């Protein structure tokens, strides 16, 4: 079945450094979503990408959807301590299921 793989599993950076997490699907996705989970919290929706090659920005966060709609990335410029958490990508499996990647846990040294 369709799998959504996410790398890296962990990333530790110095505050101010950039951070990138990658998401790859074994099949073409109709859309991809990104979520952030703060330590001890629940996943919170960040954004969805629908179009091939789409790029969206939210302040220091840049989201990309690959041309083949099988991969995506989230890039954070100049990380801040508020960026700490686990970032998940998610894609639909058919119409009725939402499948998540394993997540990338970001820790930051202030």
Residue numbers of the site for another protein (CB under 8 A)? 6, 9, 30-31, 33, 35, 41-45, 48-50, 88, 90, 92-103
In three-state form (DSSP H/G/I as H, E/B as E, the rest C), the secondary structure along 46-110 is EEEECCCCCEEEECCEEEEECCCCCEEEEEECCCCHHHCEEEEEEEEECCCEEEECCCEEEEEEC
Q: Name which of 58 and 80 has its Cβ closer to another protein.
A: 58
> Shortest approach of another protein to residue 66 CB, angstroms?
16
Q: Name which of 38 and 57 has its Cβ closer to another protein.
A: 38
CA distance 11 to 85: 10
Q: Name which of 90 and 108 has its Cβ closer to another protein.
A: 90
Q: Name which of 30 and 80 has its Cβ closer to another protein.
A: 30
> Shortest approach of another protein to residue 14 CB, angstroms?
24
> Shortest approach of another protein to residue 73 CB, angstroms?
17
Q: Which of 39, 58, 46 is nearest to 89 (CA)?
A: 46
> Shortest approach of another protein to residue 4 CB, angstroms?
8
CA distance 110 to 106: 13
């Amino acid at each position: 079945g369709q799998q959504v793989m996410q790398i890296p599993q962990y990333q530790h950076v110095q505050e101010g450094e950039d951070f990138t997490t990658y998401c790859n699907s074994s099949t073409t996705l109709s859309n991809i979503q990104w979520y952030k989970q703060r330590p001890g919290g629940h996943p919170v929706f960040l954004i969805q990408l629908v179009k091939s090659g789409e790029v969206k920005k939210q302040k220091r966060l840049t989201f990309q959807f690959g041309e083949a709609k099988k991969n995506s990335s989230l890039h954070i410029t100049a990380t801040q301590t508020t960026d700490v958490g686990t970032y998940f990508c998610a894609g639909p499996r058919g119409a009725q299921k939402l499948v998540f990647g394993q997540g990338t846990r970001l820790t930051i040294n202030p």
